[in-house]
Chain A
Amino acid sequence: ETGVTQSPTHLIKTRGQQVTLRCSSQSGHNTVSWYQQALGQGPQFIFQYYREEENGRGNFPPRFSGLQFPNYSSELNVNALELDDSALYLCASSKGGDRDINEQYFGPGTRLTVT
């Protein structure tokens, strides 16, 4: 186990709704990255938070947003859910920030189904 936890494990939402996913990072880590893994695909980078600021973003629309809290836990918010948002959402924590190559430790993921 990596010490990275995510909640909830599974959830089902309806198209157009909003969802919040949560991630607790490993002790001593100040960076959290979020990834979307569609069925049968590799994870795609959504964004990264370092010391409560977004410091990198992948090719995802603005309805994907996030927060990082003073204890370095993080939330991923998705507004106006679409069917294609159905995926496993992974968070990964690491030490350091920009240009650091520290290993990312992944949580077990949240499986989101949009109907």
Chain B
Amino acid sequence: GDSVTQMEGPVTLSEEAFLTINCTYTATGYPSLFWYVQYPGEGLQLLLKATKADDKGSNKGFEATYRKETTSFHLEKGSVQVSDSAVYFCALRNSGGYNKLIFGAGTRLAVHP
């Protein structure tokens, strides 16, 4: 079945460091890919998405490129801030089905001043 694998956390960085969180997926067909963020005590917020191969999603300085050849959707940010500390989830929604999201296990990011 479809699945998403994320790098294990926690990821601990100093402010202004470069961030990469790896995400790979297994899916039949042509899924859409998402990154969600969960701040402490809150629900999930959509951070960015890409709906087809080679699309780049971007938002708030975060970027991810849909790479079909490597089945990856790695999240990057050039300069992290303390306020970026949260749990990040990679997810896919497969084509041809109802609007169901399949999530990875999440990666906790801690950014220190």
Contact = CB atoms under 8 A, between A and B. Distances in A.
Given A101-B32, A101-B51, A106 B45 contact: yes
Q: At the interface, is chain A mostly helix, strand, loop or mixed? A: loop
Contacts of B98: 48, 50, 55-56, 97-99
Contact of B101 (A40, A41, A104): A104
Contacts of B41: 108
B97 interface: yes
A104 B99 contact: yes
A87 B104 CA distance: 16
Interface of A: 2, 4, 31, 33, 35, 40-45, 48, 50, 55-56, 58, 90, 92, 94, 96-109
Interface of B: 4, 32, 36, 41-46, 49, 51, 89, 91, 93, 96-106
